[in-house]
Copies of this chain bind each other. A is one copy, B any other.
């Protein structure tokens, strides 16, 4: 039985061996919820970059560019970090460049070493789990956290995936065990369970209530975004 593990923040990624692992990157509020939504709505590709400067360089080369820092859109960019902005019909077939405070940084850290990098959110949980059930590799969920610290919502997603895959994968480490327990504790009402988390309070100060409840919905889309040649595209 292959191993299912969870890395609670990118600042702990150095403790994990990725050579035989599929890495599932998650950033529930809101980068990976945006990615799943955009690709499900027909965006052609999303190129995640770590810095605002790289994002601007891609914008100058014709990409539609999305840059977020501290939960707000950076001046001079086209798109903000709300999943609802990715439902725009004008984005069908578009190439997007994206940088966010946490999520795109995680992807940058994971790429290269892992077998492949997939994108996970509650929005595509079931389809992602179904895909992973047939994989011969270990799985590591990389939670993006907040500026290096663990956060509740990404941990809950990791726990939800652990729970979905508990018959196919073995859990050996406490990070995954704690995530799974927290998800089982909170799953009956995730919205209320995350209500006092630091990032929800941060987003609520910015008036982003609807993004929160949207991003906690399970299985809205049957897509699995995968990183190919530096860009996220839908797995066929």
Contacts and interface: CB of A to CB of B under 8 A. Distances in A.
Given A155-B178, A182-B178, A149 B11 contact: no
A198 B172 contact: yes
Task: Tell me the number of copies of this protein.
Answer: 2
- Size class of the contact patch on chain A: 20 to 34
Nearest to A146: B174
Contact of A11 (B12, B151, B173, B198): B12
Interface string A104-141: 00000000000000000000000000000000000000
Contact of A150 (B8, B185, B198): B8
B181 A15 contact: no
Interface in A1-26: 8-9, 11-12, 14-15
A199 interface: yes
A231 B173 CA distance: 32
Interface of A: 8-9, 11-12, 14-15, 146-152, 155, 172-175, 177-178, 181-182, 185-186, 196-199
